Amino acid sequence: MPAFDLPAAELEHYRPDVQEPPDFDEFWRDTLKEAAQTEVLVSVRPAENGLRLTRTWDITFRGFAGDPVRAWYSRPAGVPEPLPAVVEYAGYGRGRGLPHERLTWVNAGYAHLLMDNRGQGDQYGSGGATPDPHASAPGGPGPAARGLPDPRAYHYRRLITDAVRAVAAVRALPDVDGGRVAAVGNSQGGGLALAVAGLVPDLAAVLVTAPFLCGIRRALDLTDASPYGEIGAYLSVHRGAEEAAYRTLSYVDGVSFARRAAAPAHFGTGLRDTVCPPSGAYAAFNRYGELTGVDPRKEIHAYPYNGHEGGDAVHVRRQLDWLAGVLPVSRWPG
């Protein structure tokens, strides 16, 4: 697949207008205030992972509307002092899987919390464990279109709230340095991490790769690939519903969250990505932090001949090196 989005030279300066609803900040302030009415941690139980160098716990915390959300929490074995933490968000259709699957961050010396995706987990990977009690709202069957006619009923209002509460959950653990928490994600997870950066003002760092839900209107014009294709499929049946759908989507666009973020940020994108077009990543990157009054440290890595996989393991190594500089671990295991 040849490059299909804007040329690289244009992407570097791409700063599209942002169509934000006038009550964007009020909408999220009220949503998160409601979620914060309940104590965040429900249970923390040791989990067998078959590993000698990593300890894992099965955590349940309260997310949107107080709903229970599952997560794996892992940390290097034999390191008792509080550690900086990485909160990771999984991709579209994927759940938290099994406790031994994602070890990169814990092997780098961080405490690591991997949040389950409510109402997802059945498309690939090793499954999830968090239902979505509110999934009967009108809209398409897939999460991207679930509740689309109404921003208050939209799936991503719930999932983004869960993502913010995941940061509160990891900070509530006694062996975490709560002042040094980073958000990390790829694809849908990248969109969630970016939302967290815009909604959690004291986040220490954010690492965003191939983010979903960035520059949504343009992405819908460029690609039919899922998840954007699910939104297009819904609108192909519900003719005339575009205005309501676009209004809902304007509350979850990652470019709006990026404008409100201040944490140091590391981005990555493949210039041949037909799933999450690179113009969305660049729009978020180029407008990152513009409403905060600060000039946050940020960098982006583009991979001209790669699609949604982006830089893959090469990019992960860049993430590791960058985060070690921003959020160093004081003592390595072993």
Point out the catalytic residue in the list 67, 177, 253, 273. 273
Active site residue 132: no
Cβ-based neighbours of 248, under 8 Å, separated by 6 or more: 147, 148, 149, 150, 151, 154
Point out the catalytic residue in the list 112, 155, 266, 308. 308
Cα–Cα distance, 228 to 267 (Å, whole number): 21
Active site residue 43: no
Cα–Cα distance, 273 to 228 (Å, whole number): 13
CB 257 within 8 A of CB 194: yes
Quote the Cα angle for 202-208-213, to 5°. 100
What type of residue sits at position 53?
Answer: L
* Whether the bond into 227 is cis, omega within 30 of 0: yes
Closest by CA position to 213, among listed 270, 163, 284: 284
Point out the catalytic residue in the list 187, 250, 256, 279. 187
Cα–Cα distance, 74 to 51 (Å, whole number): 11
Active site residue 273: yes
Catalytic residues: 187, 273, 308
